[in-house]
Structure 1
Amino acid sequence: MDFFLPISVAIASYLLGSLSFAVIVTRLMGLADPRSYGSKNPGATNVLRSGSKKAAILTLLLDAFKGWLPVALVLWVGPDHGLGPGTAALAGLGAFLGHLFPVFFGFAGGKGVATALGVVVGVNGWLALATLASFAIVVSFSRFVSLASMVAAVFAPVYYFLGNQVAWEATAAEILALSVMALLLVWRHRENIQRLLAGTESRLGGGKKAG
C-alpha cells in the first residue's frame, strides 16, 4: 500500500496534466484548433494567435492550475495518508509530463511553461516569486519570452537548492523533480534555441530580429 499510493497519485496527476486546455478551451469557444496554425503548439501563446485574449488567458490559468492542484492536494491532505513532499514532487512531475505527452491527445502536448509554474507555486510560493522575478528580469532586457521561460525554469531548482534551510525546507525529491522539469522544458524549446542562435526569434511586442 505504501508503494502503490504514491504511484496512484502520480498516475492521477499525469491524467490531469494530459488535459490539453489549449485544445479544450478553443474547441468550447468555437475557435480553430491551436495545433493547426502558428507554432502548432497547444499552449496559451499560440492560442493568443487566434485573436482571442480570453481564450489565451483561460488556457494559461487552467494549464497552471493543473500543475498546482496535485502538488497542493498532496501537501494539504497527504500527511494524513503517509504522503509527504516526495509524493508532491512526483505529482507535480506527473502533471508536467502529462502536459508534454498527453495521453488524451496523441502524446503531442505543449512546452509546459504554465504547468511548470503551477507546480512551482504548489511547491513554495516564495520560490514561485523568485522564479517569476527571474522571468521578468530576463524578458524586460531581452524581450524574448522563450529565453526568459528557459532561464526561469533552470533557476527554479537552483534557487530551491540554495534557499534550503534558509527560506524553505527543500527535499532531494523536490529538487530532482524541478531539475527534470527544467531540462525537459529547455528541450521542448529546442526550436526556439535554434532561432535565438540564428537571430530570428520573435521578440515580445515586436517582430523577428533582423538577422
Structure 2
Amino acid sequence: MKKIIFILAAAALLATACTSESSIEEIEQTENNYSNLSYTMEASKRSASRGTLDEFPCVLKPLIAGQHIDAGVVSFDIDGDEIIISYETNEDWDISAVHFSISACDNLSFPSTGSGNPKIGRFEYASEHEDNVNEISYYFNAEELGDQFCIAAHAVVENENGDQETAWAEGEDFGGRSWAMYATIDLSGCRATPVR
C-alpha cells in the first residue's frame, strides 16, 4: 500500500513540475515579446535654422526633465511599414543618452527592482550621444511592434550650462520611490488599416 501511495505522490509531483515548467516558459515568452525587435537609429545635431517640430506626429508625449521642466517631446508615428519613436529636445537642451523599454500593456515587463523602480541600465534600447544632439529617431518594423504598446522612455538631457537632468516621457507612475513614468501608446488611429 505504501508503494502505491508513493508512486501516486511521485506521479502527481512530476505532473505538477511539468505544468510549472510549461507555465514558466509561457510567462518568459510573454515577458520577452518585444525583446527581439530590430530597429535602426538616426541622431541629428541642432542646426541654426531648427528648433521646433515642423510636423505633428500621431502621438506626442512631453519629455519632462527633473520632474517639472519641459525639455522636449517623445513622439510616435507611422511611416509606411515603420513605426518611428523620436526624442526631440527644446532649444535649451541636448540629449546625452537615451534608454527605453517596450512592453505589452496588459502584462508590464519593464526591467525593475523589487520595489518597483526601473532598472534603466537593463532597458533593451540605449544610446549615448555627443554634444548638440537634439533629435534621435528609432525605426521599428510596424508588424513586429504593433499599434499598441507601453514604453518607459528615459533620457539624460543637458542644458547650455552643462547641467544634466533625468527626463521621462510623460505617462503613468512606475509605482516605486522614483518619479519614473511609462506611457501607453495607441497608434491604431494613425493608419487606415491597423497592424495586428
**Coarse TM-score class (shorter-chain normalised):** under 0.3
Structure with greater strand share of residues: 2
TM (norm. structure 1) is 0.25
TM (norm. structure 2) is 0.27
Structure with greater helix share of residues: 1
